[in-house]
Amino acid sequence: MTGAAPIPPSVPDMRVLLEGARTLGGAHGAVLEICLLTLCLPFEAVAIDLERINWRNGHVPVPLRKGGARILPLPGPARQTIIRIAGASRATGQAVTAGRGRRLKHADVRLDRLQDWLADEAPATIPVPPWNFHGIRMAGRHALLEHGRTMREANAAVGVVARPTSRADILPPSRIEGLAAVGLEVWCEILLGGGRARTGKG
């Protein structure tokens, strides 16, 4: 199940993955759970530091692969997950390890390692579907479009900014962050079973 090609699971399959992540717990379960709730990549999830989260608006900076950073909105369920792991919103350190023990590194959450961990540890009652992180993001984006969100919201939710074709297409970072925040809140409603078809305005 490794490789660069997206392997998009269905929304019901992603609910199974979420159940597996929450059942198994630990730092690896936290990474998978945060990735499912925020449609981020694992290297972004391990980079979330508790003291850098803006709890008022639920935003946190995470690194980009080619340098720099982007703002990752944390929808309500993701913030609840982080608080559950950390024990309190005033904790410090790496979010997925609650600032305790060895800090997870990017290599620890490579796709093949997380896939093997989940396949080996999940109980027989949790059938693990085929998946990878790019597939999860693709499936989440598609689900948002199916639920009436705009292309801009769906793209912003997975951290994709389309190349502008005119000056009217150029959005300020704060606008992109706002679109992403709305998209991810709706995504969590879909994932957790309460998604409603709503028309987007972005």
Q: What is the pTM of this model?
A: 0.88
pLDDT at 106: 82
Name the token pair of 68.
């720099």
Check pLDDT > 60 for residue 201.
Answer: no
Q: Residues 78-129: pLDDT tens digits?
A: 999 999 988 766 678 899 987 777 888 888 888 888 888 888 888 877 888 8
CB 77 within 8 A of CB 185: no
Per the CB < 8 A criterion, the answer to whether 24 and 35 are in contact is: no
- Mean residue pLDDT of the chain comes to 87
pLDDT at 3 over 70: no
How many helices and strands, by DSSP H and E, does the chain display?
Answer: 8, 2
- pLDDT at position 110: 86
**What confidence score (pLDDT) does residue 19 get?**
92
